[in-house]
Amino acid sequence: MKRWLFFLILLAVLAAPPLLVLAAMEPAPIVRNELVSSPAAATRTRDIFRKIRALSTDYGAESMTLSETDLNSMLATGLRPFKWVRGQASVSSDQVDIRLSADLSRLPGGKWLNLSASMPRSELGLELSAIRLGPYNLPPWIILPSLAYALDFALGDGLGHAALGAIDNVGIKDNKIVLGIGLDLAQRDVLAERARNAARQAAGLSKPEHIRVYIEAIDKSFAGGKLTRNGSLVPVLHHVLALASRRPAQTSRADEVKAALFALAIACGHPRFQEIVGTVRLSDAAADGGCGKSALLGRLDLAQHFTISAGLHAAASSGVAFAIGELKELLDSNAGGSGFSFDDLAADRAGIALARALLDADEARLVHMLEQLRDETAIMPSIGQLPSGLSEREFRRQFTDVNSDAYKAVVVDIDRRISALPIYADHQSIIRSD
């Protein structure tokens, strides 16, 4: 009887969201202040992801400790592409509270949609003591099982339940949350790889063997002398995209372009881009013989920023690609980094713009773009007068944070420069507000 009741309630929960959302609207947010990205938040987020990745290695710990600052740093970074959502985490002596406020004022009759959840200390694994959507209290006991079934559907083989079950206890000590990990290393590795594959499939990413066609085309062209290893990135771009324009499409022309952009991100950006799309080649040794030494405006780093951001846009949204590029720049502004550079950010946004134009183009437009792709001025804007090499202190002094008017003004200037490039002149909305 309980099983049938559970599925009836689950069906109601899944069927009701549109009406529930409308009914749950509130006039004000429960999160009053926006979290802002900063060099410190970027560093914390990077370190946290390193800890998470380490859980599936031979050095994987049996637990993971996160402070309130860690949680808010992750929220600040993760919500950066979604400027209409605010988040806040707090850790007390006996529970963790997460609050989200979504600004839906642009919708007809829209106001604020607020969500709050409380996770108590527990020896029984991950639990919720309360969850509230707007003015309504939702039954906590239905949420985690529903999430587990949804993850089972996405990951297969009951891995949704395994993922949530991996946390076998939740402790709170000195206002920090301590998550006990109950899976052995083999289970962690399987779970991590299955989750990555599910994410790739959900994003519609190209299969590694499809991307490999373009990787091999790049390598053969360098080996045969058709392309110069230490030259401009533009001939490499033109060669790979021309192949995508004429190669018999496996599914669609856009899929060919997407596979080509992934290949460029791996070969010309960084081999670790394979972590997003899957392992394409057996070894990274070929990276030194590929286009990793091709440049934009005489700089290797600009070519890397450009191709990686183009690949990220192909894999996700421009907002996500921009946020990741921005995160990298914030990290560089810390001691030991190269500094926050708006010229690098210009390359990020130019790469996004090119990917967006290519993926939106029909076959005739794609051919026309290839005709325009003759030199660097077609795709990369001038970076003159853009602040670069800023330390964290200098960045804060000049721009405060990435939500300041001063920062936004420089981004608008970058977008204006990109929009003026010939290859985008007859393509509307290449640059949109992120």
pLDDT tens column, 52-109: 777 766 555 678 899 999 999 888 887 877 888 999 999 998 999 999 999 988 776 6
| Range with the poorest average pLDDT among 30-44, 152-166, 205-219, 420-434 | 420-434
What is the reported pLDDT for 42?
Answer: 78
Query: Is pLDDT of 289 > 60?
Result: no
What is the reported pLDDT for 285?
Answer: 40
What is the reported pLDDT for 287?
Answer: 47
Residue in the structure block whose two tokens are 């301590």: 178
What band does 50 get if pLDDT is binned at 50, 70 and 90?
confident
Which residues have a Cβ under 8 Å from the Cβ of 44 and sit 6 or more positions away?
69, 70, 73, 74
- Residue 328, classified by CB atoms within 10 Å of its CB into exposed (0-12), middle (13-18) or buried (19+), is buried
Query: Is pLDDT of 317 > 80?
Result: no
User: Which candidate, 271, 383, 401, 385, places its Cα nearest to that of 326?
Assistant: 401
The stretch 406-432 carries a mean pLDDT of: 81
Instruction: Give CA 175 to chain center in angstroms.
Output: 29
What band does 320 get if pLDDT is binned at 50, 70 and 90?
low
Question: What's the mean per-residue pLDDT of the chain?
Answer: 81
The SS3 assignment for 340 reads strand
Domain ranges in the chain are 2-202, 208-424
The number of helices, as runs of H, and strands, as runs of E, in the chain is: 17, 8
Residue 157 is given by DSSP the state T
Half-sphere exposure of residue 262, counting CA atoms within 13 Å on the CB side?
29
Report residue 374 as tokens. Answer: 């003759």
Query: Is pLDDT of 149 > 50?
Result: yes
Query: Is pLDDT of 162 > 60?
Result: yes
The SS3 assignment for 47 reads helix
Long-range contacts of 387-390 (CB under 8 A, 24+ apart): 387/340, 387/341, 387/342, 388/339, 388/340, 388/341, 388/342, 388/343, 388/344, 389/338, 389/339, 389/340, 389/341, 390/333, 390/339, 390/340, 390/341
What is the reported pLDDT for 282?
Answer: 47
Residue 215 · residue 263 · CB < 8 Å: yes
Residue 101 · residue 29 · CB < 8 Å: yes
Query: Is pLDDT of 401 > 50?
Result: yes
Rounded-to-integer distance, Cα 365 and Cα 52, Å:
43
Query: Is pLDDT of 298 > 90?
Result: yes
What count of other Cβ atoms lies within 10 Å of the Cβ of residue 219?
Answer: 17
Among 155-159, 246-250, 271-275, 382-386, the range with the most confident prediction by mean pLDDT is: 382-386
Which residues have a Cβ under 8 Å from the Cβ of 323 and sit 6 or more positions away?
77, 80, 81, 434
Query: Is pLDDT of 331 > 70?
Result: no
What is the reported pLDDT for 205?
Answer: 65
- Ramachandran sector of residue 89 (left: φ over 0; alpha: ψ -120 to 50; beta: rest): beta
Report residue 419 as tokens. Answer: 């929009």
What is the reported pLDDT for 36?
Answer: 74
pLDDT tens column, 252-273: 888 899 999 999 999 998 888 8
The predicted model scores a pTM of 0.70
What is the reported pLDDT for 407?
Answer: 93
Residue 265 is given by DSSP the state I
Query: Is pLDDT of 429 > 70?
Result: no
Which residues have a Cβ under 8 Å from the Cβ of 206 and sit 6 or more positions away?
255, 258, 259, 262, 277
The alpha carbons of the chain give a radius of gyration, in whole angstroms, of 23
More confident residue, 204 or 395: 395
Report in angstroms the alpha-carbon separations of 87 from 74, 78, 90, 265, 416.
10, 10, 10, 32, 31
Query: Is pLDDT of 1 > 60?
Result: no
Phi–psi pair at 112, nearest 5 degrees? -115, 140
Edge-to-edge strand list for the sheet holding 95-103: 85-91, 95-103, 112-120, 130-133, 136-138
